[in-house]
Structures are given as C-alpha cells and as structure tokens.
A = this chain, B = another copy of it.
C-alpha cells in the first residue's frame, strides 16, 4: 500500500507519520520542480479550492498562491456518496475507516458517482510544516468533488508530482491518484470558511484558529523563539530549572495572585443528598422559615395586645424553634468542608493545609538555584489577577527568567542585550517565510524592526535621566504627567524607544517605591538597582534587577512593603548562608512574540489566552 511505496522514497518522510512534509517539497530552492514525477503521500487541510468542468466548460483559473486571494470554496454539493469510489482504490483494511469519515449511504443505494458532478477540483492544501500550500488536483473519478472542496477539509492523498498543466506562478502540483482519507467539513457549522478572518473573531475559536495561515505562522515563530532561548542559555552555561507553579508566597507581595484549593470540591460534596431531607425531615432552611412565620405571629399578638397567655405560648414555641435552629447550625459547622465561611477561611482543611498561590514569577525560587549552581534559567507559566486592559496583559503568561550568581547589574544588561539580539537574528534566519507573510498581513515594518534591534547598540540611561528627557518634551503631552517618582507608563517607555532613540533602551536605577522588595537599594537610598528593557513598538519586554544581598536591608524592605516576614524566612536563608551578589531578569515571552510577529494584541501571541471573565476551552 501507499506507505510501503513511500518508505522506499528518497523524499524525507514526516517523522512517525507516513507522509511527506510539504516543506520538504515546497521550501526547496527550486520550489519542488526537481521532484517532478515523484510519487508521494501528503496530508493536510484544504485552504481553498476551485472546481472545474461541471459542464466541461473552459477550465477556470486554479486557486492562486495566496489562499486569501481566492473566494471561499464553492459549496455546490453533489447529491451522491462516494464511499464506493474511494473504497475501490484503497486497501480493504482502510475501507471501513474511510466510510466512517465520509459517511453517506451504503453502496447498495448509491447512484452513479460521476453523474452531474464537476469533473475536477484544484485544492490548496497546507500541513502546517510550511507557510506554503501545495496545489492538489482531484478528479471526480478519484473522489466526489463536493467532499473535498470545503475549506478546513482534511485529506490524506497519494499521487504524482507534476508541473501544472495551466499557467500560474506555482511550479509543482500533486495529481491525486488515491485518496486515503477525507475529513469533511459541514460549511453550515464550521466557523473558519471565510479567508482573512479578523483576529478578534478568531479569538472566539482558539481551538480552531491554528488552522489559519496567520496563526500557524505565529505558532511557528513562537516555537522558534522558545528553541532559540534554550539554545542561547545552554550555549552560555545556564542550567534549565523547573520552578514551582504552586507556591506558599505571594511573590510580588501585591495580592494580585490566584489561590489554589480543593476546598470547593469538599464543600460541593455537602450538596450530595442530605439524609435528613431524604427522610422528609426538616432542614435548617425549613426551620428558619418557621421562625419567620412564628415571629410574625408573635408581633401580631403584641400589636393586637391580646391575652398574655397566648403571647407567652407563642413566644415559648418560637423560642423552641430558635433553639433547634441554633443546634442545627452547630451541627453544620462540625461537618467537613463547611469550614470556610464569609471572610474567614480555614485553610488547615485545604490540600496543602495552608494557603497556596499560583506563582506570579519564579524570581524568589530561582535565586536559591543561582546561589548554588551559578547561572540558571526558568521558562514557564506565571499568573497575575492584575486587571489591566486585556490587549496588553493576561492572567496566564509565559516568562523566561535568568539569574546569575557573582554578577552585578551591568553583567545582566550585557546578557539582556546579547539575548534579545540573538532571538531577533534567529527569527530572521529561521522563519523568513513566516516573517514575510506576517509583514504582508500585519505589519510591513516588522522585519526591519528585528534587523534594527539585532544590529543596534542598546541605549542605557538612568531613570532620573529618562525623567529629565521626558519632562523636556514639548511637542507631546502624556496622559500621565511625568515627574521623578512615577512608575513610567507604557506611553512614556514607548516614546523613548519609538521617538527619541528609535532603538532599544535600557532604563535603570528606578525609585525604590516602584520596584519589588528584593531589588538592591543603591547607595543614595532613594533608587534601586533595577533595569527595564524597552523595545520599539512593544515597550518593556524585560524587567531585571540586582538582588538585595544585605540581609538587614532586605528585612527592612520586606517590612516597608507591608509583607509578612515569616513568609520569606526561607528566602532570607539565602542571605544568611554563603551569600553572593546575584542579578537576573525576566522576559515576557508573549511580548517577545509580539515584537517578532508585529501582533498588537497579546491574546493573539499565546495559544489559549486567559483573561478576566474569559475562559473558553
């Protein structure tokens, strides 16, 4: 069967999937021309299609190179099933399998498959390995055209590579001889049939959007940035360490953290059938209703000033009921899972027997590894409840964090500059086709920007100098007025990189009030040993600092920041014993993806965005 023929094939097979990756055909310097006459199996999803010769009319032009330039596929269906046509051409073992996919009636009641059907279709098929799609020619004698023309349809097909019969820019196409699989699309239900769908729309379908040309390119670039990061770090002797997601410390000390719990599931269990109710016996709610009624009765008796006997009886009765309610409440309190109530949660009942948070940064933990092994890095998810506008912030975002022992802020600045340039060069060298597409679709200047970042010497200036510069600006008014002491806003940072220096800028020595407690206090006592890397277009992508190594100063800072000292006792151990100067920084990975792709919204830079009130999939 097909797989054997292909396994003897010189072309590179997809690892662990018996097909040829399209990039090995289309991304060759000759565009695949040299493979003319080769027999291959390819698999992928239809981007667009054109039918031909319904009435054996003049051939229509085939779909052009850019999927987006052709209209959505014709949906003129053929009212026949094709099971038998395909089954005639594939090994028995696959027949039932194919029938399952393409559905339709059993051979018994199937009419002549060629009747009324268009004679052939040109499909553009993409398999995710390349930004390019291959033109696939399917004759109605191989498969019913209506089954394969819908965008999103998956096909596994065997055929011959040949030069296109018709004139067009593509140099090679696949003439299908054998369809091994069709995964149909119901156009009435599939949301991605139109081309060039806006990113906002695609966000509603984060489980399907990687099938679009653009999101696929973003995914390949994100992959490249991640691998480039590992390569850079490993080349420079950094050890990769997996830092915990569940932590006992609110690492930012700003309360913007999620909590992790199993208390709810405990509590929900209480909802299971309550024996008291099952036996039709009274429960607390019933009693409380009774109390209300009896109270009303008492009040009425008081108003009407009727005989005291009746009032007394009513009151005694009411009191009994009140006592019952009291007892029942006591019992409720004794149950498991009932331990959390308004404003007071008993975390001794929780999974970790204490409060547990989702880490907002690996910072504190990674220092313990840097202070043992020298240079380390982490790459993992971090979490913030911070509720700023969701086009710039996510509840869950990935962060690359490096920490270097025996290093000071200048060392980290050098590392930041080398690292970011390395990433930009890597993308330009390894993702040129994806970059070209994104430049065309999103931001024409994105490649120039990467080149400029890769080649320019980063500007380095103090926060104080930065504020002076910004205050001198006459021709621009900022939403937030600039003065020494403010936490520079995106508008300020962007203006520096975009307008003033037109290149990456490292701002350092910020006021201690705007930085976390662990940043080293400078000798002036006012500023701390921090730095931010601001890039054109995307703003601050890296925040770093030299850590406060003096335990007395650190303790003071913890108190100043209103944090609970005992929470950080283990962290202070790193200063108590075998203390060293150390410095590090963290890169917002989605921000880096935005720089590389030119995307404007962070929700498009991560596969499954998580933001306030939004949790689909």
- Tell me if A487 counts as interface (CB < 8 A to partner B): no
- Tell me if A351 counts as interface (CB < 8 A to partner B): yes
- Tell me if A495 counts as interface (CB < 8 A to partner B): no
Binary contact track A284-304/B, C-beta < 8 Å → 1, others 0:
000000011001001000100
Report 27 cross-chain contacts, Cβ distance below 8 Å, ordered by A residue: A14-B374, A15-B238, A15-B375, A15-B415, A43-B406, A44-B374, A128-B374, A154-B579, A156-B406, A181-B406, A183-B577, A208-B573, A219-B369, A222-B241, A241-B607, A242-B606, A246-B383, A247-B617, A255-B265, A258-B261, A267-B342, A270-B343, A341-B342, A351-B613, A356-B615, A365-B608, A380-B380
- Tell me if A245 counts as interface (CB < 8 A to partner B): yes
B615 touches A352 (CB 8 A): yes
Q: Which segment, of A80-88, A106-114, A116-124, A226-234, faces chain B?
A: A226-234
B375 touches A14 (CB 8 A): yes
Binary contact track A96-135/B, C-beta < 8 Å → 1, others 0:
0000110000000000000000000000000111000000
Minimum distance in angstroms from A324 CB to a CB of chain B: 12
Q: Which segment, of A32-40, A314-322, A496-504, faces chain B?
A: A314-322
Instruction: Specify which chain B residues have a CB less than 8 angstroms from the CB of A332 in the assembled complex.
Output: 342
A262 touches B259 (CB 8 A): yes
- Which listed residue, B44, B100, B190, B245, touches A245 by the CB 8 Å rule? B245
New contact pairs (9) apart from A152-B577, A210-B368, CB-CB < 8 Å: A16-B404, A128-B372, A129-B374, A210-B373, A223-B241, A242-B398, A246-B395, A270-B343, A365-B608
Minimum distance in angstroms from A461 CB to a CB of chain B: 20
A264 and B267 contact, Cβ closer than 8 Å, known pairs A351-B385, A373-B128, A580-B183: no
A241 and B219 contact, Cβ closer than 8 Å, known pairs A319-B298, A343-B271, A352-B614: yes
- Tell me if A268 counts as interface (CB < 8 A to partner B): yes
Binary contact track A426-437/B, C-beta < 8 Å → 1, others 0:
000000000000
B244 touches A411 (CB 8 A): no
A550 touches B245 (CB 8 A): no
A207 and B610 contact, Cβ closer than 8 Å, known pairs A268-B343, A270-B342, A342-B341: no
Q: How large, as a class, is the contact surface on chain A?
A: 35 or more
A373 touches B414 (CB 8 A): no
A249-B617 Cα distance, complex, nearest whole Å: 7
- Tell me if A211 counts as interface (CB < 8 A to partner B): yes
A337-B259 Cα distance, complex, nearest whole Å: 14
- Which listed residue, B207, B381, B571, touches A570 by the CB 8 Å rule? B207
A243 touches B312 (CB 8 A): no
B17 touches A375 (CB 8 A): yes
Instruction: Specify which chain B residues have a CB less than 8 angstroms from the CB of A607 in the assembled complex.
Output: 241-244, 365, 369
Instruction: Specify which chain B residues have a CB less than 8 angstroms from the CB of A464 in the assembled complex.
Output: none
A347 nearest in chain B by CB position:
B264
- Tell me if A95 counts as interface (CB < 8 A to partner B): no
A578 and B608 contact, Cβ closer than 8 Å, known pairs A14-B406, A352-B613: no
Minimum distance in angstroms from A205 CB to a CB of chain B: 8
How many copies altogether?
2
Interface residues of A in 565-615 (CB under 8 A from B): 570-571, 573-574, 576-581, 589, 606-608, 610, 612-615
A578 and B45 contact, Cβ closer than 8 Å, known pairs A262-B258, A415-B15: yes
Instruction: Specify which chain B residues have a CB less than 8 angstroms from the CB of A577 in the assembled complex.
Output: 152, 183, 185-186, 189-190, 208
- Tell me if A176 counts as interface (CB < 8 A to partner B): no
B612 touches A351 (CB 8 A): yes
Binary contact track A303-342/B, C-beta < 8 Å → 1, others 0:
0000010011001101100110010000010010110111
Instruction: Specify which chain B residues have a CB less than 8 angstroms from the CB of A352 in the assembled complex.
Output: 395, 610, 612-615
Instruction: Specify which chain B residues have a CB less than 8 angstroms from the CB of A127 in the assembled complex.
Output: 373-374
- Tell me if A412 counts as interface (CB < 8 A to partner B): yes
A15 touches B237 (CB 8 A): yes
Residue with the greatest number of chain B CB neighbours at <10 A, chosen from A239, A311, A613:
A239
- Tell me if A470 counts as interface (CB < 8 A to partner B): no
Instruction: Specify which chain B residues have a CB less than 8 angstroms from the CB of A302 in the assembled complex.
Output: 316
Interface residues of A in 188-224 (CB under 8 A from B): 189-190, 206-208, 210-211, 216, 219-220, 222-223
B576 touches A189 (CB 8 A): yes
- Tell me if A344 counts as interface (CB < 8 A to partner B): yes
Instruction: Specify which chain B residues have a CB less than 8 angstroms from the CB of A326 in the assembled complex.
Output: 291-292, 295
- Tell me if A443 counts as interface (CB < 8 A to partner B): no
Instruction: Specify which chain B residues have a CB less than 8 angstroms from the CB of A353 in the assembled complex.
Output: 613, 615
Instruction: Specify which chain B residues have a CB less than 8 angstroms from the CB of A181 in the assembled complex.
Output: 406, 580-581
- Tell me if A390 counts as interface (CB < 8 A to partner B): no
- Tell me if A405 counts as interface (CB < 8 A to partner B): yes
Binary contact track A399-416/B, C-beta < 8 Å → 1, others 0:
000001111000110110
A375-B46 Cα distance, complex, nearest whole Å: 17
- Tell me if A616 counts as interface (CB < 8 A to partner B): yes
- Tell me if A64 counts as interface (CB < 8 A to partner B): no
- Tell me if A540 counts as interface (CB < 8 A to partner B): no
